[in-house]
Homo-oligomer: A and B are copies of this chain.
Amino acid sequence: MSLLVTGSIGIDTVETPFGKRDDVIGGSAVYFSYAASFFTPVRLVGAVGEDAPKELFDVFGEQEVDTSGLEVRKGSKTFRWHGSYVQDLNEAVSIQTDLNILAEAAPKIPEKFIDSKFVFLANPHPALQQQMAANLKKPRLIVADTMNLWINTARPELLKTLKMIHGLVLNDGEARLLTEKKNLIEAARDVLKLGPKFVVIKKGEHGCLMCSGNDVFVLPAYPADRVVDPTGAGDSFAGGFMGYIAEKDEFDAETLKTAMAYGIVAASFNVEGFGVERVQEITRDDIEKRMSEYRKMLSF
């Protein structure tokens, strides 16, 4: 089924214990789209500036990512981020962030995309998330992510967004900031009171948990002994998660659980290389092979 994503598209400079890369294509929508495209065709909506490198348009190769919702805006500059994981592979230190085009008007959803049934609103401002959601014709499932910046500076708008969406995917720090609860299961339950039917909390190297109604699921991360660059791991997780849901055209509890596992597997490939380097090398078969290993690991 059709899966639409909107979020940042950026030019990143990343430092990790494995080296430094300048000007790699990144951003939540890119990582998400790549991971999701192993499961279902993806419709990407985003905006970049005149400075966008031409590699951006080739980044998805043969993957089914429809980039016709990618606006190249004259006079604007692409979002840029420079971060370092040299001290701690689990937490980036932001050295420089230039919001640039992310602080401007939202990109438009192309007419041919408004019938999208599955929708992921990565990390735009919550007011833009609402606009996007309102512009769609009968979406079946809207899932959003958010970030500390919006929790801190746009909480009332974010709370409105939470009433419009079906699912929220966010990391542990964000969940704690949003709910002021330290215990993540309590935090997850508090999120459900704010609107969403389900919430997935990403815990980085510790995996993730989901609350849906009274059900709580937890899954460990796939054991990785070589994390080269964690940038985009959470977005790849969301891509695998939503990609599988859209492929199945279903979102009952069992599907959500399996989707979480696919998200974990997608993220596990993502961190094995800088940017999308590693996911560019793999196929759905590689994902299925690792999924079998992961399943086996968790059966006893």
Contacts and interface: CB of A to CB of B under 8 A. Distances in A.
Contact of A185 (B216, B218, B224): B224
A258 interface: yes
Interface stretch (A1-9, A74-82, A113-121, A202-210): A202-210
A219 interface: yes
Contacts of A189: 225
A223 B219 contact: no
B220 A182 contact: no
A89 interface: yes
Interface in A95-134: none
Nearest to A225: B185
Q: Which of A89, A218, A219, A222 has the most CB of B within 10 A?
A: A218
B206 A216 contact: no
A254 to B, nearest CB: 7
Nearest to A216: B223
Which of A206, A218, A227, A300 has the most B CB atoms < 10 Å from its CB? A300
Interface in A12-64: none
A200 interface: no
B298 A225 contact: no
Contacts of A219: 220, 298
A245 to B, nearest CB: 13
A143 interface: no
Contacts of A216: 223, 225, 297
A180 interface: no
A192 to B, nearest CB: 13
Nearest to A295: B300
A236 to B, nearest CB: 18
A15 B244 CA distance: 45
A206 B209 contact: no
A221 B183 CA distance: 13
B298 A299 contact: yes
Contacts of A260: 300
A203 B218 CA distance: 14
A217 B221 CA distance: 10
Contacts of A217: 223, 297
A220 B208 CA distance: 9
A259 to B, nearest CB: 9
Interface of A: 89, 182-183, 185-186, 189, 203, 206-207, 209, 216-225, 227, 254, 257-258, 260-261, 295, 297-300
9 contacts: A206-B206, A206-B207, A207-B218, A207-B220, A218-B220, A218-B221, A218-B222, A218-B223, A261-B300
